[in-house]
Chain A
Amino acid sequence: MTESTYRIQGATGEWEVVIGLEVHAQVTSNAKLFSGAATAFGAEPNTQVSLVDAAMPGMLPVPNRECIRQAVRTGMAIDAQINKWSRFDRKNYFYADLPQGYQISQLYHPIVGEGQIAITLDEKNPETSTKVIGVERIHVEQDAGKLMHDQHPTSSYVDLNRSGVALMEIVSKPDMRSPAEAGAYLSKLRTILRYVGSCDGNMDQGSMRADVNVSVRKPGEPFGTRTETKNVNSVRFVMAVVEHEASRQVDVLEAGGKVVQETRLYDPDRNETRSMRSKEDAHDYRYFPDPDLLPLELDDAFLEDCRQSLPELPDAKRARYEGDLGLSAYNAATLTADADTARWFEALLAEAARIQKKGESDVAKASANWLLSELYGALNRLGKSLEESPVSAGEGAELLALVADGTISGTIAKQVFEIMLETGDKPGRIVEEKGLKQTSDTGAIEAAVAKVLADNADKVEQYRGGKEALFGFFVGQTMKAMQGKANPQVVNELVKKALG
């Protein structure tokens, strides 16, 4: 546990910032929350709309089991209370993207109650930088449609493809105290959702958006008035919103003004927040239980199925990587930060252990190092993601095995990897065809050493005169003469011996 020391220096002294996030995460499902229309992104306007989504007269909602299941699994993943009895309420307001004139949501009895998420601010020092952020609740609700303003001079266009897609609203407690904490919370939440598989976490496509609640206060004082900045769609922007909104509020307060409780919008181009044209009556949503739906009652079998289907979660995985596999805290954190990375790493690990007939912990460090430095470096260069890697986990494991059993040196391994990336060939075949196997043939190496020493008699003299740093030079020249294929350990020994 850690206390944030983030402070804003104002003219009247230090200010503390208080942050809470309401994250809307699109539930991964084939069909919408209350209708059988598809949820896929990017379809032609109004093609993924049923008569229910368009709120035609007499249309009625029937909930999608998968959406409920995903919300429950998400709740379980953050150790939250799962409410076996919950209800859908109507939130009433008029807007062109809201065909029913109300959003079906959950106010009074959400499906998931209090839970928590641990965030780590410095992955190299997790013990001293981890903080637990409370989650107030998770509820399930309908997404709205989309309004387009730039297609016609005097009209806005309405596309209802998103109308009725299931969202989870994940509401944190006001437990964050710095932009970094807010960013870490959103990242960690995204990681968990992607592990659980309840949301793809794709912020570009709007699968995750955050409403950022920010207030400031003098340390130790009660909470100040907060503002809510809507629909912020990246970790970086969330941090920027906190920074700008906090300093704006400090400026307002220090100028003797009052912070107005309001909804604001973030403009990424100008990197500022501005007040939304305040919607009249926006605060009287007239929530009441949706009479078209019955209370949602979950039985034990349903909950057990949800629990059983949960994967190993990031915190547990990270602890296992550190504890059982002996990885550094940083490597463990990096490898578990994303479900896909962890999955790739575990495939590599399993294959490396199998080929080398060793335990996973014996091959973990080499595997982690190769993945994080060699493979990541190459993917960065190629501008590809791990999923698009031209080298499979199996091929990577094969390459690691060739190094481990002394067939090739680490230096040669780098060359082989480059060829793998280029040609897609298997490492064994590359080593074979290009004759890259390293040699431990002492006769050949001795001959090479003798030639190096003879060609560099002056340097041999200097070495013997005390310039011991030249040792590396002789080794290097020998390796070069051997075209890199000599076993470096043998070369070391023989050079030492020849120099007497």
Chain B
Amino acid sequence: MSIDLQTVKKIASLSRISVTDAEAEAMVPELNNILGWVEQLGEVDVTGVQPMTAVIPNHQRLRDDVVTDGNVRDKVLANAPQAEHGFFAVPKVIE
């Protein structure tokens, strides 16, 4: 599979990374090069192989239902580019 300029732009948009036309054009061969290389995986026979789920055998532990956190608004907002009245602020969203 090889990707074109339009696909690169679509991926950039999905990734929320704005790219200029020139940047996108430069990325086309670059990404194709990498993707072409990883596509060699397609030749591996994986019949009957389950995808890896846990790299080291381990069980998902579950927490007790106890409130142990929160009430740290100052910490939560400490690094916010724009915080007002205890909220994070973002450009107005029209829904």
Which residues from chain A sit less than 8 Å from chain B, CB to CB?
29-31, 35-38, 44-52, 54, 62-68, 87, 94, 96, 147-149, 151-160, 265, 276-277, 280-281, 284, 286, 289, 293-297
Contacts and interface: CB of A to CB of B under 8 A. Distances in A.
Interface of B: 10, 13-14, 16, 53-54, 58-73, 75-77, 82, 84-95
Given A44-B86, A158-B89, 4 more contacts: A52-B69, A96-B93, A151-B85, A281-B10
Contact of A50 (B10, B70, B92): B70
Contact of A38 (B14, B70, B85, B94): B70
Contact of B70 (A36, A63, A96, A147): A36
Contacts of A46: 73, 76-77, 86-88
B76 A148 contact: no
Nearest to B83: A46
Given A276-B95, A281-B13, A155 B62 contact: no
Give the 3 A-B residue pairs with the shortest CB-CB distance, closest first: A36-B68, A66-B65, A37-B70
A30 B59 contact: no
B53 to A, nearest CB: 5
Contact of B89 (A54, A157, A297): A157
A30 B61 contact: no
Contacts of B60: 63, 293-297
Contacts of B85: 45, 151, 157
B72 A155 contact: no
Given A155-B82, A277-B94, A45 B66 contact: no
A393 B79 CA distance: 55
Contact of A30 (B67, B82, B94): B67
Contacts of B86: 44-47
5 contacts: A36-B67, A148-B87, A155-B82, A156-B91, A160-B88
B87 A45 contact: yes
Given A280-B13, A281-B13, A281-B14, A63 B62 contact: yes
Nearest to B53: A295
A31 B95 contact: no
Contacts, number: 139
Contacts of B89: 152, 155-158
A361 B81 CA distance: 67
A250 B63 CA distance: 50
B62 A50 contact: no
Contact of A47 (B58, B59, B61, B70): B70
Contacts of B69: 31, 35-37, 50-52
A276 B93 CA distance: 13
A45 B73 CA distance: 8
Interface centre among B59, B66, B70, B77 (most CB of A within 10 A): B70
Contacts of B82: 155
A280 B15 CA distance: 12
Contacts of A51: 69, 72, 75-76
Contacts of A66: 64-65
A31 B66 contact: yes
A64 B84 contact: no
